[in-house]
Structure 1
Amino acid sequence: MDLGTTQLLGAPSPSSSSSSSSSSTYSWTHNVFLSFRGEDTRYNFTDHLHKNLVQRGIRAFIDDELPRGEEISQALLDAIEGSRCSIIVFSENYASSKWCLDELVHIIQCRKSKQQMVWPVFYKVDPSDVRNQRGSYGEALNNHERKFKEQKLTNHDESKFKDNMKKMLRWKETLTEAANLSGSHYLEGREAEFIQNIVNEISLHVLHDTHINVAKYQVGIEARGRDLHKVLDVYGNDVRMVGIWGNGGIGKTTVAKAVYNSLAHVFEGRCFLENVRERSIPYGGLVDLQNLLLDEILRGKEIKVTSADKGISVIKERLSCKKVLVIVDDVDHLDQLNNLVGGCDWFGLGSRIIITTRDKHLLTSHQVSIIYKAKKLNFGESLDLFISWNGGRNKNLDDDYVKAAETVVKYSQGLPLALKVLGSHLCGRSIDEWHDALDGNLHSDIKKTLKISYDALEYSVQEVFLDIACFFKGRKVYDVIPILDGCDHKPKYAIEVLVDKALINIKQDTIGMHDLLEELGRGIVYQESPNEPGERSRLWFYEDVYRVLTKGTGTNNIKGIIAKFPTPYDICLSDDIFSKMKNLRLFINVNAQFYGDHVDYLSNELRFLHWPGCPLQTLPSTFNPRKLVELYMPRSRLSQLGEGFKVI
Structure 2
Amino acid sequence: MTTSSMASLQGVSSSLSSASTSSIHPWSYDVFLSFRGKDVRQKFISHLYNALDKRGISTYIDNELERGEEISQALFQAIEGSMISIIVLSRNYAESKWCLNEILKILECVRTIKQIVLPIFYDVDPSDVRHQKKKFGEAFSKLKGRSEGKVELVLKWEAALEELANMSGLELKNYRKESELIQEIIRWVDFRVVNHTPLSVAKYPIGLESRIQDIYQHLSIGKNDIVCMLGIFGTGGIGKTTISKDIYNRISSQFEGSCFLKNIRETSKRAGGVIQLQNTLLSTILGISFDVSDIDKGINVIRHRLCSKRVLLILDDVDELVQIEKLAGDRAWFGSGSRIIITTRDQQLLKISEVDSEYKLKILDDNEALRLFSLHAFKKDEPLDDYVELSKQVIKYAQGLPLALIVLGSDLKGQSIYQWKSAMDKYKSFPNRNIQKVLLVSYEGLDDTEREMFLDIAFFFKGESFAGVIKIFDSCGFSPVHGIQRLIDKCLITIEDEYVLMHDLLQNMGREIVRLESPKEPSKRSRLWFHEDICEVLEESTGTNKIEGMIIDMPEGEDVIRLSPKAFVQMKGLRVFINRNASFSSGPNYLSNKLIILKMRGSFLKELGMGFKFKNVTTITFDECNFLTKISDLSSISNLKELNVRRCTSLVEVHDSVGHLDNLSHLSFFDCSNLEIFPTSLKLRSLHYLDLRGCSSFRDFPKIECEMRYLHTLNLAGTVVEELPVSIGNLTGLDHLILSGCKNLMRLPINSILQMQHLSQLGIGGCTNLVKKMGDDRQSILATDSTRMEDEISSSHEEQVHELAPPMNSRNGSSALQVLNLQNCFQSKSSFFPISSFFIVFNSSATLKFLYLSKSEFDSLPTSIKGFVALNYLYMWDCKKLEEVLELPPNIRFVNVQGCKSLERFPEVSRILEFNGSHIRSLQQINICGCDKMHEKIWNYKVPNSLLWKGHYDATVFPENEIPGWFRYQKEFLENEIVKRGDNDFQLRKNEEWVINIEGPHYLKDISGIVVYAVVFYKEANYMDTIEDVEITSNSSNHVCRINLSEGVSLHHNNTTEVGGKYYVRVSYSDLESFKVKVLENLRVQLRTDWASFRVPYYRSWGANIIYKKHESRAHKRRKMD
Q: Distance in 2 between matches of 1:183 and 1:63?
A: 22
1:329 shift after superposition: 0.5
> Contact 1:332 / 1:359 at 8 angstroms: preserved in 2?
yes
> Contact 2:90 / 2:122 at 8 angstroms: preserved in 1?
yes
Q: Does 1:42 align with 2:6?
A: no
Q: Which residue of 1 aligns with 2:425?
A: 436
Q: Distance in 2 between matches of 1:101 and 1:367?
A: 54
Letter in 2 for 1:274: K
Q: Which residue of 2 aligns with 1:338?
A: 325
1:273 shift after superposition: 2.3
Q: Which residue of 1 aligns with 2:242?
A: 254
1:402 shift after superposition: 3.0
1:98 shift after superposition: 5.2
1:242 shift after superposition: 4.8
Q: Does 1:390 align with 2:377?
A: yes
Letter in 2 for 1:346: W
Q: Distance in 2 between matches of 1:94 and 1:230?
A: 49
Are residues 15 and 423 of structure 1, via their aligned partners in 2, closer, same or farther at CA, if it must alter by over 3 Å? closer
Are residues 274 and 70 of structure 1, via their aligned partners in 2, closer, same or farther at CA, if it must alter by over 3 Å? closer
> Contact 1:324 / 1:348 at 8 angstroms: preserved in 2?
yes
136-145 or 47-56, which deviates more: 136-145
1:423 shift after superposition: 1.3
1:169 shift after superposition: 8.7
1:109 shift after superposition: 5.5
Letter in 1 for 2:321: L
> Contact 1:269 / 1:325 at 8 angstroms: preserved in 2?
yes
> Contact 2:144 / 2:154 at 8 angstroms: preserved in 1?
no
> Contact 1:239 / 1:347 at 8 angstroms: preserved in 2?
no
Q: Which residue of 1 aligns with 2:406?
A: 420
Q: Distance in 2 between matches of 1:133 and 1:68?
A: 34
Q: Distance in 2 between matches of 1:226 and 1:185?
A: 45
SS in 2 for 1:86: strand
> Contact 1:324 / 1:350 at 8 angstroms: preserved in 2?
yes
> Contact 1:241 / 1:352 at 8 angstroms: preserved in 2?
yes
Are residues 221 and 316 of structure 1, via their aligned partners in 2, closer, same or farther at CA, if it must alter by over 3 Å? same
Q: How does 1:317-328 map to 2 (within 5 A)?
A: 317-320=304-307, 325-328=312-315
Are residues 283 and 68 of structure 1, via their aligned partners in 2, closer, same or farther at CA, if it must alter by over 3 Å? same
Q: How does 1:483-522 map to 2 (within 5 A)?
A: none
Q: Does 1:275 align with 2:274?
A: no
Letter in 2 for 1:87: I
SS in 2 for 1:196: helix
> Contact 1:294 / 1:303 at 8 angstroms: preserved in 2?
no
> Contact 1:124 / 1:188 at 8 angstroms: preserved in 2?
no
1:387 shift after superposition: 2.3
Partner of residue 215 from structure 1, selected from 197, 202, 217: 202
Identity of aligned residues (%): 45
1:336 shift after superposition: 1.8
TM-score normalised by L of structure 1: 0.51
Q: Which residue of 2 aligns with 1:58?
A: 57
CA RMSD of aligned residues (A): 5.2
Q: Which residue of 2 aligns with 1:198?
A: 185
Q: Which residue of 1 aligns with 2:120?
A: 121
> Contact 1:378 / 1:414 at 8 angstroms: preserved in 2?
yes
Q: Which residue of 2 aligns with 1:243?
A: 230
Q: Distance in 1 between matches of 2:50 and 2:165?
A: 25
Residue by residue, what CA displacement relative to the aligned partner does 1:483-517 show, whole Å, maximum 9, x if unpaired?
Answer: xxxxxxxxxxxxxxxxxxxxxxxxxxxxxxxxx9x
Residue by residue, what CA displacement relative to the aligned partner does 1:186-242 show, whole Å, maximum 9, x if unpaired?
Answer: 457633322322211211232588765433444455787788899989999878445
> Contact 1:13 / 1:112 at 8 angstroms: preserved in 2?
no
Are residues 183 and 334 of structure 1, via their aligned partners in 2, closer, same or farther at CA, if it must alter by over 3 Å? farther
SS in 1 for 2:323: helix
1:427 shift after superposition: 1.7
Q: Which residue of 2 aligns with 1:73?
A: 73
Q: How does 1:619-634 map to 2 (within 5 A)?
A: none
Q: Which consecutive unaligned segments of at least 5 residues does structure 1 have? A: 1-10, 150-164, 450-515, 517-526, 528-648
Residue by residue, what CA displacement relative to the aligned partner does 1:525-550 show, whole Å, maximum 9, x if unpaired?
Answer: xx9xxxxxxxxxxxxxxxxxxxxxxx
Letter in 2 for 1:332: D
SS in 2 for 1:390: helix
Q: Specify which structure has the higher proportion of strand.
A: 2
Q: How does 1:131-530 map to 2 (within 5 A)?
A: 146=148, 181-186=167-172, 190=176, 191-207=178-194, 212-219=199-206, 240-243=227-230, 245-248=232-235, 249-260=237-248, 271-281=259-269, 285-294=273-282, 301=289, 303-306=291-294, 308-320=295-307, 325-347=312-334, 353-359=340-346, 362-363=349-350, 366=353, 368-369=355-356, 374=361, 382-393=369-380, 397-406=383-392, 408-409=394-395, 415-431=401-417, 432-433=421-422, 435-436=424-425, 439=428, 440-442=430-432
Q: Distance in 1 between matches of 2:125 and 2:378?
A: 56
Residue by residue, what CA displacement relative to the aligned partner does 1:64-107 show, whole Å, maximum 9, x if unpaired?
Answer: 15257766334x45544554433233445556655445544554
1:123 shift after superposition: 3.8
1:118 shift after superposition: 3.4
SS in 1 for 2:72: coil
> Contact 1:244 / 1:371 at 8 angstroms: preserved in 2?
yes
> Contact 1:331 / 1:357 at 8 angstroms: preserved in 2?
yes
Letter in 1 for 2:267: R
Are residues 59 and 323 of structure 1, via their aligned partners in 2, closer, same or farther at CA, if it must alter by over 3 Å? farther
1:121 shift after superposition: 3.1
Are residues 388 and 87 of structure 1, via their aligned partners in 2, closer, same or farther at CA, if it must alter by over 3 Å? farther
Q: Distance in 2 between matches of 1:13 and 1:170?
A: 31
SS in 1 for 2:119: strand
Q: Which residue of 1 aligns with 2:88?
A: 89
Q: Specify which structure has the higher proportion of helix.
A: 1
Residue by residue, what CA displacement relative to the aligned partner does 1:247-272 show, whole Å, maximum 9, x if unpaired?
Answer: 23332212333454567788776543
Q: Distance in 2 between matches of 1:109 and 1:179?
A: 16
1:424 shift after superposition: 1.6
Are residues 129 and 264 of structure 1, via their aligned partners in 2, closer, same or farther at CA, if it must alter by over 3 Å? farther
273-282 or 358-367, which deviates more: 358-367
1:340 shift after superposition: 0.5
> Contact 1:117 / 1:265 at 8 angstroms: preserved in 2?
no
Letter in 1 for 2:243: V
Q: Distance in 1 between matches of 2:416 and 2:356?
A: 49
Q: Distance in 1 between matches of 2:352 and 2:93?
A: 54
197-206 or 436-445, which deviates more: 436-445
Q: How does 1:586-625 map to 2 (within 5 A)?
A: none
SS in 2 for 1:214: coil
> Contact 2:263 / 2:316 at 8 angstroms: preserved in 1?
yes
SS in 2 for 1:303: coil
TM-score normalised by L of structure 2: 0.32
Letter in 2 for 1:205: R
Q: Which has the higher contact order (CA 8 A, sep 6+)?
A: 1
Q: Which residue of 1 aligns with 2:895?
A: none
Letter in 2 for 1:309: D
Letter in 1 for 2:72: I
1:171 shift after superposition: 6.9
39-48 or 204-213, which deviates more: 204-213
Q: Which consecutive unaligned segments of at least 5 residues does structure 2 have? A: 1-10, 440-504, 506-515, 517-1122
